[in-house]
Every structure is written in C-alpha cells, then in structure tokens.
Amino acid sequence: MSVLNNLIGGLSLGSVYAIIALGYTMVYGIAKMLNFAHGDVIMIGGYMCFCAMQYLGLPPVVGILIAMVVCTVLGVLIESLAYRPLRGAPSLAVLITAIGVSYYLQNAALLIWSSNPKSFTSVVALEPIQLAAGRLTVTGEAIVTIIAAVVIMTALTIFTSRTKMGKAMRAVSEDRGAAQLMGININRTISMTFAIGAALAAIAGVLYCSAYPTLSPTTGSLPGIKAFTAAVFGGIGSIPGAMLGGILLGIIEIFSNAYISTQLSDAIVFAVLIIVLLIKPTGLLGKKIREKV
Amino acid sequence: MKKVISILLVVLLMAAVFTACGSKDAAPAPASNAPAASDSGSGTIKIGGIGPTTGAAAVYGTAVKNGAQIAVDEINAMGGLQIEYKFQDDEHDAEKSVNAYNALKDWGVQMICGTVTTTPCIAVAAEANSDRVFMLTPSASSPLVNHGENGAYDYDNVFQLCFTDPDQGLASAQYIVDHDLGKKVAIIYNNADAYSTGIYQTFKAKAAELNLEVVSTTTFTDDTTDFSVQVADAQSNGADVVFLPIYYEPAALILRQAKSIGYAPVFFGVDGMDGILTLEGFDASLAEGVMLLTPFSADAKDERTASFVKKYTEAFGETPNQFAADGYDVIYALWNAAKAAGINDKTSAADACEKLIATFSGGSFSVDGVTGAGMKWSKEGTVTKAPKAVVIQNGVYVGF
C-alpha cells in the first residue's frame, strides 16, 4: 500500500512540476529563451494569494484570481521591460538578464514581506479521501493538483493548435522572420506567451504552497529549477513533454526519497536527467530539428 | 531622451547612496552619560548580541534580542554598572554571523550574548576563541560550540545558558518513558544540521537504554518541503510518539502532512519547536497537543517570570517564548559575572574574557533566572538546571 501512497505523492508533486514546466516550455518554444525568473513568479503568485487570504480575508478563489492577474501583469511587464529590448541580442545576454530578473524579484519580495517564512493556508477545502481501510490516503491537494495539470495541458494543446493566437505562436516558434512577413505581430505574440506562462506560474505557486505550506522569498527557486529540469527531460518546447517530464520527475523524486535515500533524492533526479539526455539529447518527446546550413 | 533618463538614474543612485549613509549615522547610539567611575560596579560595559532576526530562524533571534533588551532596560534603570547593548543580525548563516561578530568587535564589544543558533555559533566561537572574547550563548545547544565532537577542541571562552543537545536528547527520552507517552517512537530529524543530529544521537542511545522502541527513523535536509515519505513511514510502523528534534519550520510542515493523512500521534519536540505558534499564518490547531521540552514556561507563577512576561508582552505585543527568556537570563548572567569580576568600561575584551571564564567556572557563581533557579556552570561551559516540558493547548503553552 505504501507504494501506492508514494505513487500518489509523486503524481501530485509531479503535477506541480508539470504546471511550472509548461510555463517554461511555452516561453522557450516561442520566445526561444530560458526564463529563469519563472520560479520567482511562482513565489510572487504564492505571496499574492497569501496576502489576499490572510490580510484581506478574501475567499481562496478570489485569492487565486488576484494571484493570476498580478502575475500576468508582472509577466508582461518583465517581458516588455527586460527582455524586449534584447530581442536581437545574443542569447547569453538574455539568459543573464533572466537571472538578474530572478534576483530582482527575490530581493523585492525580501523587502516587501521580509524573509520570515509564512505558513500558507491551503486553498483546497477538500477532505482527504481514505481508501482501503485507511491505509491509502489521497489528499484534496493531490486531487486538485493532478486535475489542474491535466486540464491546463489539454487547454494549452487546444489553444496552440486551434486558435488564431495559438497558430501565431507556433508560427513565431517555427520561423520568427517569416511569421513577421506574414503579418504576425511578434511582440504581441511573445507578450501573450509570457502572460500565459505567468498565469500558469501563479496557479502553480498557489498549488505548491497549498501542498507544502511554507512561503518565503526563495520558495520558488528550487521547484523552478526542478521544473526546468522536467521541461528539458520531457523535451523543451513540447507541451506534452513538459507534462510527462514533470510527472516522471515527481515520481522519481518521491520514490528515491522513500526507497533509496532522502539525501540522495535530488542527486538521483538529476542523474536520471543526465542519462536521458545522453541517450536522447532532445528529451523524451523533443523534436529533432535539423539546422540547415 | 535616453540621456535625460540616465542622468535621472544617476541622481537617484546618488540619493540612495547618501540616504543609506545617513541612516547608518542615525543608528541609535546609546549615550553613555553615566560618569565613568573607576570603582567596579559602575561605568558601562558593552555587550553585543548576534542572532537571526530575519530568515528562517528569525523567531529565535528576534526573541533573544527582545528578551535581552528587557534585561538591559531593567539594569540600566537600576543604576550601578550600566550596559550598552547592540544586536546584529546573522540570518542563521555562519558566514554572516562571523561578519556580525567582526562588526561588534569594531564597535568595541567586551562580551557577547550569542550566537543564537548552533551552526553560526560554531563559526563565531572559533573566531572568538582566538581573539579571546567571552561568549555566553542563550540557545546554541550543541557541544560543538565549545568542545567539538568527542572533545576535538576546547573553546574555554564559550559558555551555554541552555541545555546542551545531549542533555535534551537524554531528557526527552526520559520524559517519554517516565510519563508513558507511548511505546513506539518514530524520529524525524534533519541530518544536514548539527543541532538536530546531536539530539537524535543521544536520544537514540538513551531510548535503547530505557527499552523505548524506535520503530522508524527518517531524515530530511534543509531544502526538504515534502514530508509525505517520512510521515507515512512513522504511520505505517505504528509509532504512537513522533520525536522531532528539529526547528519549527519543518515541524509545521510535518504537522500539516500528518493531519492531511489523518495520523495523530503525540508529537514531542525540543527547544527548536519553540516559536511554532508565532509562524505567520500557521493554523494553531495543528499544534494542539504538541509537547516540547523547554526550561521556560510563560504561565509559571513565580514573581520573576510574571514580571518578565508582563514587561515583554507590553513592549512587544506577544508572549515571550523560551528564547526570549534565554536572552533575558544571558544579560543578567553576564552583568552579575561582570560585577563579580570587577569588569568596567576600561577592561579590554581579552581581560574581560579571562575574568569571566574564571567567574563562570569558579564553582561559587550562580544565577537565578526565568529559565531556572541557581544555574551553575561547569568548566566545559555547560549549565546545570532542571528540564521542564510543556504541552500546547488552545494555542498556548501549558506546563505538563
């Protein structure tokens, strides 16, 4: 039974990674840049929801909405202020800017909320479900997180394949110059991508803090890095890949925690990543792109 | 346009630099208006405090800082030997703690109340030992702060006001057996932390000696946020007591995880659990029935405790925890020892250090404080006092 319990724990942790990884992968796929500030947007989302619920006494749903709106605005702002001026710059410059934004957000949070940890009240009111005479427990957070991850992945897949904006995003991803010639507004498309990514980060932040209720300015950095790993693991740029990578990563982490060693679990996670990349350099579901010379 | 913006930015930057300097100058410089008399028992001694007032362990440092402030105010109002007191934040980080120590040294510190947490304290103790600066730590309870593993070194200048980790481990096991809290014990500890590991080791040894069955031992590290595996292991092995020799932040996550899977054993913590009720946003009902070993309980009826609790509550708006009481007692212990040793503002830190070592380990020196009456110190720097346990009921500590 403990195997099943751990599996559910892994699925739930993995689903949070998956939601974060979806944000990473969207931005990478379309803007071709690694947004290292993504993890910190998660943290901001968590704080926003915390403040709305704790200080303003608003219901959890409103808290999530506020977090999403604030993060969306923040995502668009970051993109237009920090990344847009570097559109033509070498990718290294953009990468370093992203790291700078990440530190900026962390320190801003440090100033606003201080580094004292806050205890996050779960937004999920669902009681845990006991199965098999209490030996198997599924928490409300696990159920909500897993469902949220599946819904978000499906919605994103439909969005990118069916809607006009989604098609524009794929066009920009395929060939930015050609897309522009076809009359697609590159800046607006990329802004939109960042808005979606940041909104996802807000949801992920709230769900992550609900499952692990501690909130500090560095809350987002480790899950951010792990989700980035998940995105690479699944094949960066691929939406189902991010989902698969996230869930596998969560399961591997919980299982190595339970059956191998609590200290080595992070090392094992990254070792698996290295092995996968050695065998399949584009990740599990990554597309092989042949560069034309 | 761009030029205008950049000039504006430069001006802003300059303004920021100058205001930063300005606020530094404006830092409170307690006027030493007491006449510097040559006889002992008057003059002003400089006591520096080090501890985390921000960061994950902020509750401890803030409590020590505030508790010590109450003692300083009381002493300075009494007349006689006065205290100039300055507290530095170390964020529970060894490197920052050494920086804080150096800042205090530049300020002319004569003795140190600190540091509050164990890992930084080990780093500062090494520096203070070679500089010959006396340290009385309110709460760094590991033997590593003054004599290392199996006496690998001997920092004779570092004394502790709190129980040591081995004592906490021993006392916890004894308590669980004496009060028959359970038959099967699970332990969850942080094996990346000297404090947690130290208590775990003596607890395990004592439990074996007392035939207390340890059915599950799991570990975690500083970055851990998922405790599902650890809690599930304790539950599936049928533990009815979970011993948590850890700080309150992971403890809060463990309590939450246990509740979410409907597991309700007796949780038994040590002094690191103190502070859990002040965690912002923490649901106090999760801590209902949690027990912890602490030498101080704010509901004690003696006059000294009642007066301290009243003053603290009035000044800081919350009930003092054990760390506040430790900070308060450290100042009194240092002040009494300084008076006994004839230390005044002219005594150098190194001379003060030797005098204080002689006084504390002299055998006849004892202090009555809010964390225990008749506290005495051994040559190794450890304190003798009686342990107490409290249980959390309706969000407050109740003596057990």
Q: Are residues B170 and B263 in the same domain?
A: yes
Q: Are residues B271 and B323 in the same domain?
A: no
Q: What values do phi and psi take at B360, rounded to 5?
A: -65, -40
Q: Which chain B residues are within 8 Å of A117, Cβ to Cβ? A: 56, 249, 279-280
Q: Are residues B264 and B314 in the same domain?
A: no
| Residue B137 DSSP SS3 | strand
* Angle, CA of A22, A25 and A30, to the nearest 5°: 125
Q: Is B285 on the interface with A (CB under 8 A)?
A: no
CATH class belonging to A2-279 = mainly alpha
Q: How near does any CA of chain A get to the CA of B222, in Å?
A: 10
In this prediction the ipTM stands at 0.74
How far apart are alpha carbons B265 and B234 in whole angstroms? 9
Q: Are residues B226 and B203 in the same domain?
A: yes
- pTM beyond 0.80: the answer is no
Which of B272, B294, B316 corresponds to the end of one domain? B294
**CATH assignment at residue B212:** 3.40.50.2300
In a domain, B2, yes or no: no
Q: Which two tokens stand for residue B141?
A: 């309870």
B41 has pLDDT over 70: no
**Out of A116, A130, A213, closest to residue B253 by CB:** A213
Q: Are residues B353 and B281 in the same domain?
A: no
Helix spans in chain A (H): 2-31, 38-54, 60-78, 91-113, 140-162, 164-174, 176-181, 186-211, 221-234, 239-259, 265-279
* Residue range B69-86, pLDDT digits in tens: 999 999 999 988 999 999
Q: Is B350 on the interface with A (CB under 8 A)?
A: no
With b for 16 or more beta-carbon neighbours within 10 A and e for fewer, the A13-32 pattern comes to bbbbbbbbbbbbbbbbbbbe
Q: Are residues B207 and B156 in the same domain?
A: no
Q: Are residues B283 and B176 in the same domain?
A: yes
Q: Are residues B183 and B288 in the same domain?
A: yes
* Residue range B347-374, pLDDT digits in tens: 899 999 999 999 998 888 888 889 888 8
Query: B317: domain range?
Result: 44-163+303-384
Closest CA relative to residue A204, chosen from A14, A32, A45: A45
Confidence (pLDDT) at B298: 79
How far apart are alpha carbons B136 and B125 in whole angstroms? 10
B23 has pLDDT over 70: no
Higher-pLDDT residue of A115, B187? B187
Q: Are residues B238 and B346 in the same domain?
A: no
Question: Is B191 close to A116, i.e. CB distance below 8 A?
Answer: no
Higher-pLDDT residue of B141, A17? A17
In a domain, B157, yes or no: yes
* Residue range A78-128, pLDDT digits in tens: 999 999 998 888 888 988 999 999 999 999 998 898 777 888 888 887 777
Contacts of B20 (CB under 8 A, 6+ apart): none
Q: Is B59 on the interface with A (CB under 8 A)?
A: yes
* Residue range A143-198, pLDDT digits in tens: 899 999 999 999 999 998 899 999 999 899 888 889 999 899 999 999 999 999 99
Closest CA relative to residue B244, chosen from B176, B308, B312: B176
Residue indicated by tokens 């926003």: A48
Tell me how many residue pairs between chain A and chain B have CB atoms under 8 A apart: 92
Q: What values do phi and psi take at B160, rounded to 5?
A: -115, 140
Q: Are residues B243 and B194 in the same domain?
A: yes
How far apart are alpha carbons B90 and B98 in whole angstroms? 8
